[in-house]
Structure 1
């Protein structure tokens, strides 16, 4: 083997080793969701009275870069059948076709398409929200706090339920259940 061939082979090995070394920290940056400390819920008004409900099962994939937030990636999947109004009978009702139609659409999701520094130390997030087979653009402000080895992502996303056909037939009437819904989240992750 010539010296050039040996040098070329050792250069390829060195480049491969450097590439692998650089890739490992990037993979380690993906945060692990702490499901015990994280919550996703909604607030809506029924007969003008605020009602709080939550989703018991969801998953969030967050690759957050505080130095360069625009390179961050976020996706959230919510198990619709885990919706909890605090009463088993009401829970069963909202999973029906007129409301969430959980049999046909078992998941809701949000995928961020853009994230950048915003006002008051918050981030401006833009993405696509999919519920009940409908996908609409969505945007909201997000606060990020570091607490030791954890990061806390908090925010709220106002939506219109009728944009997703949540509440069909007689339930389209917003006199009983308001069109405005606020999705609230408190997501805790660790590296």
Structure 2
């Protein structure tokens, strides 16, 4: 049997494609992205209703994993219609000019069983910053569940301009909490 370089190359490409991890499919119905902050000293929570996550994860090679997320800033629901409209305005998310907030990982490293450390770039309202956060991974009802909490300072991303820079009304510290359910 004669093997040509074209045959060998084709076989190697087929093996490489089969060995690469396919992106997981996210399950929006079982996923959530929320924010937690203090308003006048009282903890408040709100939920983003529209977001998309892309996760390329291989538990055998977590260092080769990648993740990204895109959040529709106008989809933040603070529980009251008037306030929900307010946070989309220029002083807060300026959703007309900056409709998406994004995260793109640059490094994912194992940190123990079911734990990862994630580093990447977070972009909100035209500002980009380096962020790092712990992430847990577990299997639940046939799905992989990725859960984490990312603390940020809202003023670093110009969230709350003008009179809203005053942190006595709304604290600078905000925690983005997420739970992403995904399958093969």
* TM, length-normalised to structure 1: 0.91
SS in 1 for 2:82: helix
Match of 2:176 in 1: 183
Distance 2:60 2:137 in 1: 12
Q: Partner of 2:90 in structure 1?
A: 97
In structure 2, what is the Cα distance between the partners aligned to 1:79 and 1:146?
A: 27
Q: 1:8 Cα deviation (Å)?
A: 5.3
Contact 2:114 2:138 in 1 (8 A): no
Q: Is the 8 A contact 2:143 2:182 kept in 1?
A: yes
Note the C-alpha offset of 1:149.
3.2
Q: Whole-Å Cα distance in 2 between the matches of residues 141 and 172 of structure 1?
A: 28
Q: TM-score, normalised by structure 2?
A: 0.94
Tell me which residue corresponds to 2:2. Answer: 7
1:52 and 2:23 correspond = no
Partner of 2:100: 107
Q: 1:26 — aligned with what?
A: 20
1:75 aligns with 2:59: no
Structure 1 unaligned residues grouped into runs of 5+:
1-5
Q: How far apart, CA to CA, are the structure 2 residues paired with 1:54 and 1:148?
A: 24
What residue in structure 1 maps to residue 128 of structure 2? 135
SS of residue in 2 equivalent to 1:93: helix
**SS at the partner of 1:36?**
helix
Q: Which residue of 1 aligns with 2:11?
A: 17
Does structure 1 conserve the Cα–Cα contact (< 8 Å) formed by 2:33 and 2:176? yes
Give the drift of 1:14: 4.1
Residues 79-109 of structure 1: CA deviation (Å, up to 9, x unaligned): 1111100111111101000000000000000
| Matching residue of 1:158 | 151
- Please give the per-residue CA displacement for 1:21-55, whole angstroms capped at 9, x wherever unaligned: 4304525x310000000000000000001111010
Q: Distance in 2 between matches of 1:121 and 1:81?
A: 33
Instruction: Count residues in correspondence.
Output: 184
How far the C-alpha of 1:117 sits from its partner, in A, is 1.3
CA distance in 2, matches of 1:16, 1:149: 34
Greater helix content: 1
